Chains A and B, each alone.
Chain A
Amino acid sequence: GDSVTQMEGPVTLSEEAFLTINCTYTATGYPSLFWYVQYPGEGLQLLLKATKADDKGSNKGFEATYRKETTSFHLEKGSVQVSDSAVYFCALCDNYGQNFVFGPGTRLSVLP
């Protein structure tokens, strides 16, 4: 079945450091890919998404590019802030737009 693998962390960075959180997937067809963020004590919020190969999703300084050749969707940010401390989930939705699969989440801590 479909699956999502991401680095589990925790990841600890200093403020203004560069962030990469790796995500790879296994799926048939052409899934849509997502990054969700979960701040402490809250639900998951959509951060960005991409629906086809070579699409780049971006939001709040975060970016991820849908790479079909490497089945990856790595999350990047050029300069993290303390307020970015959260858990980040990579996810896919299958080709039929019906079944969602989530990675295990990566906890990010940004120190001042």
Chain B
Amino acid sequence: DVKVTQSSRYLVKRTGEKVFLECVQDMDHENMFWYRQDPGLGLRLIYFSYDVKMKEKGDIPEGYSVSREKKERFSLILESASTNQTSMYLCASSLMGAKGNTIYFGEGSWLTVV
């Protein structure tokens, strides 16, 4: 089974802190994604990466950055956390460009910024 692991399920951070959300997948997938999920807004793509050291902006990249130094690991960074970044963050991974491709999600990280 594909496993996408998000290291922190629940975090509470202070405004202005630097926050790292870590994600690891064990299926040698090329693509990795970070989404944000808020009530009434569905899933919104923050960043994605299709290869090591490659990244592409999604729909809402402002206030976030990412790092992909190894194929299996994709980190989301909040340089200076703000209260409007309180949300559930979902990491996901998929193969590169295969017909019938499936995206697999981690269990999510609940971030509260106070």
Docked CA distance A21–B100 (Å): 22
What chain B residues lie within 8 Å of A45 (beta carbons)? 105
| CA gap between A97 and B102 in the complex, in Å | 8
Q: Are B94 and A32 in contact (CB under 8 A)?
A: no
Q: Are A46 and B104 in contact (CB under 8 A)?
A: yes
Bound together, the chains give a CA A93 to CA B31 distance in angstroms of 13
C-alpha spacing A102/B58, complex, angstroms = 14
Separation in Å of the A45 CB from the closest CB of chain B? Answer: 7
Per the CB 8 Å criterion, the residue count for chain A at the interface is 22
A100-B94 Cα distance, complex, nearest whole Å: 10
Interface SS majority for chain B: loop
Q: How many residues of B contact A (CB 8 A)?
A: 24
Name A49's closest neighbour in chain B (CB-CB): B102
Say yes or no: B105 contacts A43, CB within 8 Å: yes
Does A98 contact B105, Cβ atoms closer than 8 Å? Answer: no
- Please tell me which one of the listed residues A34, A103, A105 contacts residue B102 in the complex, with CB atoms under 8 A apart: A34
The answer to whether the Cβ of B90 comes within 8 Å of any Cβ in the partner chain is yes
Interfacial chain A residues near B50, Cβ < 8 Å = 98
B60 at the interface (CB under 8 A from A): no
Residue in chain A with minimal CB distance to B35: A102
Contact A43 B107, beta carbon cutoff 8 Å: yes
Mark A residues whose CB is within 8 Å of B.
Answer: 32, 34, 36, 41-46, 49, 51, 89, 91, 93, 96-98, 100, 102-105
Given A46-B102, A105-B43, 7 more A-B residue pairs with CB atoms under 8 Å apart are: A32-B101, A42-B107, A43-B90, A89-B42, A93-B100, A97-B96, A97-B100
A-contacting residues of B (Cβ < 8 Å)? Answer: 4, 6, 31, 33, 42-43, 50, 90, 92, 94-108
